[in-house]
Chain A
Amino acid sequence: MVAAKKTKKTHESINNRLALVMKSGKYTLGYKTVLKSLRSSKGKMIIIANNCPPLRKSEIEYYAMLAKVVVHHYNGNNVDLGTACGKYYRVCCLSIIDPGDSDIIKTLSGEQ
């Protein structure tokens, strides 16, 4: 079965990798900029929170399918994703443009 139970360890490691991206890489937060990054083919990976409205989620997934970009469904809601990014606001979706020192893209695309 495909990762039915997301272990605490992998979840923590995603958070760590995300923190490293925030520190060393380039990213954009928010639906509008995520779509912009997909259109301009700058986004390398998309992360969507689990309480993202289903229409918006499918729209981002469709754009990512056209752009052949990995989408990761974060195991947490927009509040958690915002905290994981080190922000004091909610983040529903984010796009990683340049991972910097992090290997988040390699590890998460390897899983899928």
Chain B
Amino acid sequence: MVKFLKPNKAVIVLQGRYAGKKAVIVRTFDEGTRERPYGHCLVAGIKKYPSKVIKKDSAKKTAKKSRVKAFIKLVNYQHLMPTRYTLDVDLKDAVAPDVLHAKDKKVTALKETKKRLEERFKTGKNRWFFTKLRF
């Protein structure tokens, strides 16, 4: 009876090219829109997870290994598995629903998302979110 598909919820994408990747809900559209008459949400996820960084790595190698590749997608609720984790990264200003219509806007949004996710990864918080789901 508690709504759990809310912004900042960590979810796992179940279908499509990004199946098995973790994502965070940025914006929900519970009632749907004209183009998508079903409940869906805008998620920002990790396309390529950062590799494991070890103490032996040089600064250059650490920087290279900590890179994150992000994706932004509108996903049907049915194709998501919600988790008990949240990721409070403020992506609302970077990622807006109109971003997906124009290529150049999408590129800037992805760059911004990538930057914010990398920052969060480097702090060492939300470790679950940045580890690859093994299946």
Contact = CB atoms under 8 A, between A and B. Distances in A.
A1 to B, nearest CB: 29
Contacts of B82: 63, 66
A69 B84 contact: no
B30 A68 contact: no
A contact residues, range? 10 to 19
Nearest to B82: A66
Contacts, number: 27
B2 A39 contact: no
Given A67-B4, A69-B1, A40 B30 contact: yes
A27 B30 CA distance: 20
A45 to B, nearest CB: 9
B77 interface: yes
Interface of B: 1-5, 30, 39, 77-78, 81-82, 84
Interface of A: 35, 39-41, 43-44, 59, 63, 65-69
